[in-house]
Amino acid sequence: MQPPRNNKRYSAWSLFREGLRGHSGWEEAWRSPPGPKSSYDAVIIGGGGQGLATAYYLAKNHGMTKVAVIEKGWIGGGNTGRNTSTIRSNYFYPESVALYDYSLKLYETLGKELNYNIMFSQRGVVTVAHSDAEMEIAARIVNAMQINDTDAELFTREQVLAKAPLLNSGDAARYPIFGGVWQGRAGVARHDAVAWGYARAASAYGVDIIERCEVTGFLMENGRCVGVETSKGDVRAGAVGIATAGNSGVVAGMAGFNLPIKSYSLQAMVSEPVKPCLDTVVLYLGTGTYMFQSDKGEIVVGGGIDRIPSYAQRGNPPVQAIVLSGMLEMFPSFGQLKMLRQWAGVVDVVPDSSPIIGPSPVPGLYLNCGWGTGGFKAIPAGGVVFAHLLATGEHHDISRPFDLDRFRTGRLVDEAAGSGIAH
């Protein structure tokens, strides 16, 4: 479906023209109807990146515009707005590469497609190995990626240091640099912009985005889900999709089933802004810490999850110490910087750390969850395959391996098992 042109195009020219008249002509980036209509062809619970992208692709790829996205708070306010915004497809299994590399490809043109600058900066990601044994694993991953037709290079120590000269290369380094896995097409984007860009484009197609509206239950008829109960009234729907990340277990509980998902806090931090000093994304296998420098100049740093099941979006000093000491072990000079902000998201962790996409045990109700710590990078592909599922009731080829059924058959897609690297 061709995008309707009922919203103002963004461009240098329109910015210039608006600048001359005090920017009075800009329209709402997305419409905010006061409440949902009584019925839609599809309702998506959760106005994060996944939910908004799904709505957009329902309209664009399937011509479905009687669609509502129902968001409890404000759009992009969950993990879409709390992650460290890295986009990569350096995965081991072909199933994973098919999903994440498709997503990366969609990201490459997303700014133009949505007419919204999401600032996808393909500055590359290097995963650093610290021993001969880890270099062997790195080679295993690079070869798998090349076989699966995504870009990957096995970096030497010198190549790693050329990309990140401030890395700790001294004799006292706890984790010596042997080399690493390089993916040059990977990078970072402006996370909020992805949510807003999809919201704007979906809204232009006629999708209703209902914020501050909480789903409180499901409308059931003959064992089939036919809509949702919300704080702003009942809404009937041909298909209902759950895209609620860390709260997926709670929403599934309303529909009467459990998921193989546990919710944990994941923290991230940023420094005060400094002039450019790090031009790529770096992850150490040894420390589990990764970081990059935002366009604004802040060092953005993240690491592993807090190991305590939690729905509190709160940080915690012990994990901060682990993540930040990891960063300083990697970049000793960053010890002159200060922690400006720190926050936490609630991540939906699945035993094999791969998403769950597919029909739920309740007919009419579909799942897009379990992205854990890595959902942001998969927003475009997640949206495409979930839209396909909601529109047709059938799996997209890419999403089939990620069906909930894999836990019964045992055929998990466990990247850590295959590559030795948790994603």
Partner 1 sequence: MTSHRIGSIASETLRFTFDGTRYHGRADDTIASALLANGVRVVGRSFKYHRPRGIMGYGVEEPNALVDVTLNGVTTPNLRATTEQLVDGMAVQSVNASPVAASDRNGFIDRFAQFLPAGFYYKTFIWPDWHRFEPSIRAMAGLGRLDPANEPPANNPQIAAFCDVLVIGGGPAGLRAADQASKAGKSVMLVEDGREVGGSLLSRSAEINGQPGLEWALQVAAALQAAGQRVMTDTTAYGVYDHNLVALWQRRPGQSDAQWRVRAKEIVVAAGAIERPLIFPDNDRPGIMLSDAALSYLARHNVLVGRQVVLATNNDRAYSVADALRRAGAQVTVADLRSGAREGAVANARIEAVHGAKGVEAVTISGKRITADCLLMAGGLTPSVHLHCQAGGKLRYDETIAAFVPHENLPGLKVVGAAAGQYSLNEILGVGGEAHPYAIAPAWPQRDAKGRQWVDFQNDVTVKDIALAERENFRSVEHLKRYTTLGMATDQGKTSNMNGLATMAALTGQTIPQTGTTTYRPPFVPVPFGVVAGRRRGEFFNPVRRLVLEREHRQSGANFREYGGWLRPAWFGGANGPANIRREAMAARTTVGILDGSPLGKIEVIGPDAGALVDYNSYNTLSNLKPGRIRYGFMLTESGVIYDDGVTSKVSDEHYVVSCSSGHVAGVVARLEEWRQDRFDPSRVFVHNSTPQWATLTASGPKAKDLVTALGLGVDLNDAALPHMAFADGSFDGAPARVSRVSFTGDRSYEITVPSTKAAALLAAMGEAGKPLDAVLMGSEALLLLRAEKGYVIAGKDTDGTTMPHDLGVAGPMQKRQNEYVGRRSLFTENAQRTDRQHFIGLTVEGEQMLPVGAHGVERVNKKRRSIGFVTSSYNSPTLNRPIALGLIERGMERKGEVIDLVHLGQTFRARISDPCALDPDGARLNA
Partner 2 sequence: MQLFSCPFCGPRDETEFLFAAEAGKVRPEPAPEVSAADWSKYLHRVSNPRGATREIWVHQTCGEYFLMERNTVSHVVANTQPLRGGEA
Question: How far apart are CB 402 and partner 2 at their closest, in Å?
Answer: 14
**Footprint on residues 230-249 left by partner 2 (CB under 8 A):** 247, 249
Of the residues 3, 260, 304, 332, which one makes contact with partner 1 according to CB under 8 A: 332
Partner whose footprint covers residue 260, from partner 1, partner 2, none (CB < 5 to 8 Å by kind): partner 2
Look up tokens 């839209």; give the residue.
387
For residue 129, the minimal CB distance to partner 1 (Å) is 11
d(CA 42, CA 53): 13
* Residue 335: both structure tokens together: 């010890």
Find, among 295, 59, 46, the residue nearest to 188 by Cα.
295
| Least Cβ distance, residue 303 to partner 2 (angstroms) | 15
Contact of 37 with 208, CB cutoff 8 Å: yes
CA contacts within 13 A on the Cβ side of 218: 28
Does residue 307 bind partner 1 (CB under 8 A)? no
Among 11, 15, 311, 393, binds partner 2 (CB under 8 A): 311
User: Under rule CB under 8 A, which residues in 172-231 are in contact with partner 1?
Assistant: 172-174, 190, 192-193, 196-197, 211
Residue choice 35, 39, 151, 154 for contact with partner 1 (CB under 8 A):
154
Interface mask toward partner 2 for 332-361; x: CB under 8 A: -------------------x----------
Distances (CA, A) of 283 to 128, 166, 185, 296: 6, 14, 16, 20
Between 161 and 166, whose beta carbon lies closer to partner 1?
166
Q: Does residue 409 interact with partner 2 by CB under 8 A?
A: yes
Helix boundaries (H) for 93-243: 94-114, 132-147, 157-163, 191-205
Residues numbered 8-47 forming contacts with partner 2, rule: CB under 8 A: none
For residue 204, count other CB atoms closer than 10 A to its CB: 22
Which residue carries 């008829």 as its tokens?
A: 221
Q: Is 409 in the site for partner 1 (CB under 8 A)?
A: yes
345 sits in the region (left: phi over 0; alpha: psi -120 to 50; else beta) called beta
Find which of partner 2, partner 1, none residue 31 binds, CB within 5 to 8 Å per kind: partner 1
Q: Does 311 bind partner 1 (CB under 8 A)?
A: no
* Site for partner 1 contains 315 (CB under 8 A): yes
CB atoms within 10 A of CB 343: 15
| C-alpha to C-alpha distance for 164 and 168, rounded to whole angstroms | 10
What's the one-letter identity of residue 388? H
132, 317, 336, 338: residue in contact with partner 2 (rule CB under 8 A): 317
Closest listed residue to residue 283, CA positions, set 116, 86, 100: 86
The 366-405 site mask, x for binding partner 1 (CB under 8 A), equals ----------------------------------------
Do 181 and 92 contact (CB within 8 A), yes or no?
no
With tokens 């393909």, the residue in question is: 122
187 is an interface residue for partner 2 by CB under 8 A: no
Contact with partner 2 (CB under 8 A) among 66, 123, 262, 395: 262
Q: In what order do the strands lie in the sheet with 153-156?
A: 153-156, 179-183, 125-129, 281-284, 290-293, 299-309, 262-271
- Residue 250 contacts which entry, partner 2, partner 1, none (Cβ below 5-8 A, type-dependent): partner 2
CB neighbours of residue 273 within 10 Å: 14
Tell me which of 2, 24, 222, 258 binds partner 2, using CB under 8 A.
Answer: 258
Give the residue, chosen from 15, 250, 339, 417, that forms a contact with partner 2 under the rule CB under 8 A: 250
Q: How far is the CB of 360 from partner 2 (least distance, A)?
A: 13
276 binds partner 1 (CB under 8 A): yes
Residues engaged in binding partner 2 (CB under 8 A) = 247, 249-250, 253, 258-263, 307-312, 314, 316-318, 351, 407-410
